[in-house]
Amino acid sequence: MIKSAVKSVLLELHSIIGLLLSLVLAVIGITGAIMSFEDEIQASLNAAMTQVEARATLRLAPDELVTRLQAEHGFGKVAGMTMSSDPAAAVRVRFARSADRARPSSVYVDPYDARLLGTPHGEEFFATVRRLHRWLLIPGDGNSYGRQITGIAVLGLVALMISGLVLRWPHRATSIKLWLKPNLALSGRGLHRSLHTVIGTWVLPIYLVMALTGLWYSFDWYKSGATWLLSRPGAAAATMARQPPRTTRTSDGRVSIKSEERPEGAPISLDRAWEAFLHAQGDRYASAQLILPQGAGTVVRIRSWPHGAADGARDEFRIDAAAGQIVTSELYADKTTRERILARVLDIHRGSVLGWPGKLLFMLAAAMMPLFVVTGLLLYLSRRRHRRLVRAAPRPSLVPGE
């Protein structure tokens, strides 16, 4: 009796949460599936403009490349650049947001003469899908309440998985067939329930991984907690500066240059930052992404992917572009297993940590989210209709004396 009452309460909670969050979860699922193979799609669409003819002459240094690009085409402030060790690869340049907070499209540039090669096809489409996935297109992007809404929806998904598993738990829990085989011979409510519960069991582990990693991007407290849990306490990042200035050690063990050694507004030189990076990495890098400071700071972040490394297996440097000295360096090879999990949260979230089969599996699971919305709604409506019929059914009256 108690068990039945608990399940009745769980069913009501499961239904209410599902109804409130179904539309948001469907949007998150569909957009996540669309983005699963974004890199491969964009690489195919833009293959012609990402390659140039390799030449014997030296490629332009970053500062010269930016200067020529802005002088000839009038682009605004550069926000980042992606450069490759491949002499036949084009440079991708990204720009900072304009005064109205709009971000111009990035461009591909010939690294030998700064010739404009074109704007990436599909970039704006995937950027819109990404904003929809993360922030529901609510203005303000990551600074808006859209970030919290998606986070609450993901927390709701965790509650749906837990309650659904309890509601689904059969008397013969060891029966694989009962857990994993849908009964397609049924029709109506029986078929809807079979599809909802059995396919839900199939994708439950994947949804759990997606949810636990997706919360990383929605709540700072969750990200801080995961970092505290998985990072080495007091571990210092290796510093690789040739002549380090006065430094201070942060609470997480990283070494950073004191603010007075890097005055706000000091002129920065991408060339100095790039030279410091090359001095540290040599020819070990396959591609590198330079991220310029948004304000008046002088620290340039450089993400570096070694040859043959997986997508998320990257090194990261913070370099003072005014002094040309490395502030901090984080080498993927030096990380513990738990720290590598932190470094590859996005790869785990989308399944790419398992290669393309993992990405395909996660894409299919994400694309199934509308199935649970539809079948869950049909089950709810069917249950309501059944209750109305029971209440409306005439009750037999007793004959006096019976």
Strand partners, 305: 287
Q: Give, for 83, the enclosing helix (H) or strand (E).
A: strand 78-84
Burial of 191 (C-beta count, 10 Å sphere; 0-12/13-18/19+)? middle
pLDDT at 398: 53
Q: Angle CA(129)–CA(132)–CA(136) in degrees, nearest 5?
A: 175
Picking from 304, 335, 366, the residue at the C-terminal end of a domain is 335
Judge whether 271 lies within some domain.
Answer: yes
Judge whether 396 lies within some domain.
Answer: no
* Segment among 47-51, 105-109, 292-296 with least mean pLDDT: 292-296
Picking from 292, 309, 335, the residue at the C-terminal end of a domain is 335
Residues 279, 363, single domain; the answer is no
Residues 179, 316, single domain; the answer is no
Judge whether 401 lies within some domain.
Answer: no
pLDDT at 358: 95
Q: How far apart are CA 318 and CA 328, in angstroms?
A: 5
Q: Is the pLDDT of residue 99 over 80?
A: no
Judge whether 136 lies within some domain.
Answer: yes
In the chain, how many domains are there? 2
Judge whether 78 lies within some domain.
Answer: no
Judge whether 17 lies within some domain.
Answer: yes
Two tokens at 110? 């010939």
Residues 303, 365, single domain; the answer is no
Residues 31, 169, single domain; the answer is yes
Q: What sign results for the dihedral spanned by CA atoms 114, 117, 123, 125? A: positive
pLDDT at 254: 46
Q: 257, 243 in Cβ contact below 8 A?
A: no
Judge whether 237 lies within some domain.
Answer: yes
Residues 217, 260, single domain; the answer is no
Judge whether 279 lies within some domain.
Answer: yes
In 10 A of CB 11, how many CB atoms?
Answer: 17
Residues 130, 227, single domain; the answer is yes
Q: Give the pLDDT mean for 101-121.
A: 91
Residues 182, 192, single domain; the answer is yes
Q: 109, 91 in Cβ contact below 8 A?
A: yes
Residues 270, 312, single domain; the answer is yes
**pLDDT band at residue 384 under the 50/70/90 scheme:** confident
Q: Work out the percent of the chain whose per-residue pLDDT is above 70.
A: 88
Residues 129, 202, single domain; the answer is yes
pLDDT at 102: 76
Picking from 335, 364, 382, the residue at the C-terminal end of a domain is 335
Q: 252, 231 in Cβ contact below 8 A?
A: yes
**pLDDT band at residue 1 under the 50/70/90 scheme:** low
pTM: predicted TM-score of the whole model, two decimal places: 0.83
Task: Provide the mean pLDDT of the chain.
Answer: 86
Q: Which long-range contacts (CB under 8 A, 24 or more apart) does 277-280 make?
A: 277/302, 277/304, 277/317, 277/319, 277/326, 279/242, 280/240, 280/317, 280/326, 280/329
Range of the domain at 204: 1-46+122-232+340-390
Q: Is the pLDDT of residue 236 over 90?
A: no
Three-state DSSP class for 108? strand
Residues 330, 344, single domain; the answer is no
Residues 156, 275, single domain; the answer is no
Residues 311, 195, single domain; the answer is no
Q: Angle CA(41)–CA(43)–CA(47) in degrees, nearest 5?
A: 125
Looking at residue 87, its amino acid is: P
